[in-house]
């Protein structure tokens, strides 16, 4: 079914 990646997999750490 539909899954979800974590938000920090889209944005890199500062």
**Contact residues: other proteins, CB under 8 A:** 1-14
The residue written with tokens 């079914």 in the block is: 1
Question: Any idea of the CA torsion for 7, 13, 10, 2, to the nearest 10 degrees?
Answer: -30
Vertex 11 angle, CA 10 and 14, to 5°: 165
CB of 8 to other proteins, least distance (A): 6
């Amino acid at each position: 079914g539909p899954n979800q990646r974590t938000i920090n997999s889209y944005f890199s750490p500062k």
